[in-house]
Amino acid sequence: MRILFFGPNGSGKGTQGSIVKDKYNIPHIESGAIFRENISKGTEIGKKAKEYIDRGDLVPDEITIPMILGRLQADDCANGWLLDGFPRSKEQAVKLDEALKEANMALDVVIEMILDRQIAKNRIMGRRLCENDNNHPNNIFIDAIKPDGDKCRVCGGALSARSDDQDEDAIDKRHNIYYDTDTGTLASAYYFKAIAEKDGSLKYVTLNGEPSVPEVTEELVGKLG
Ligand SMILES: [Zn+2]
């Protein structure tokens, strides 16, 4: 199964992606990790990408698309893959679609996790880390995992917030790109939605990102089959 996974920061997309990975035995590929891998291994394409990154410029699609395609053709992708974090613009969606077709890797499913922008932002800003265990979920804006006063709901440990999670400007910047339905990430998701509606060559699945993690997983698995 070849899957593209869309969802805003704060939607729990990463968590659901890793569940899909285990259930369908396909790698969960994050576009950022592909860049880091190519750069750390010093591949030709990684070197080119690094020049742009070092200058603070966006890496052009002519470099990004072949880099991603290369990862999707690796040995561990025999059963398919789940790509997360790309495309981010409508232009990239068109180019990725073309490249996948040329490589004979038709997309099977596109998943869009739907979550209101303000809720997504609250979820990021509401995250709290437990001093005893990073895996103890605490979020002051999610009822199911609300801390016990100012202590961890699991173990009573002291809680703190990551500074990244409190950087409202950075969150807004990422969400501006994601929620842009004209040229941004949602526009790229809708590009695939239109294909699904037009010729049914792929399945477009929407997921309500509001319920708890197990509930979202249940909906997802039910829809993927
Ligand atoms: Zn704890």
pLDDT digits (tens, 9 = 90+) for 57-88: 889 999 999 999 999 999 999 999 999 999 99
The answer to whether 13 is a known ligand-binding residue is yes
Per the annotation, does 211 bind a ligand? yes
Residue 77 Cα to ligand 1 midpoint, Å, equals: 36
Give the percent of the chain with pLDDT over 70. Answer: 100
CA of 137 to the centre of ligand 1 (A): 8
The answer to whether 8 is annotated as binding is no
Q: From the CA of 125, how far away is ligand 1's center (Å)?
A: 18
Residue with the two structure tokens 């495309």: 87
Could you read off the pLDDT of 171-187 as tens digits, one per residue?
A: 999 999 999 999 999 99
Would you say residue 2 has pLDDT above 90?
A: yes
Q: Looking at the DSSP assignment, which residues form a beta bridge with residue 84?
A: 5, 30
| φ, ψ (nearest 5 deg) of residue 30 | -100, 130
Domain topology for 2-116+169-224: Rossmann fold (3.40.50)
- Residue 32 in marked binding region: no
> How many CA atoms lie within 13 Å of 191's alpha carbon, on the beta-carbon side?
23
pLDDT at 30: 92
- Kindly give the distance from the C-alpha atom of residue 139 to the centroid of ligand 1, in angstroms, as a whole number: 12
Helix (H, G, I), strand (E, B) or coil at 56: coil
What separation in Å is there between the alpha carbon of 150 and the centre of ligand 1? 11
CB hemisphere CA count around 184 (13 angstroms): 13
Residue 4 pairs with which residues in a beta bridge?
83, 110
Q: Say which residue, 144 or 196, is predicted with more confidence.
A: 196
162 among annotated binding-site residues: yes
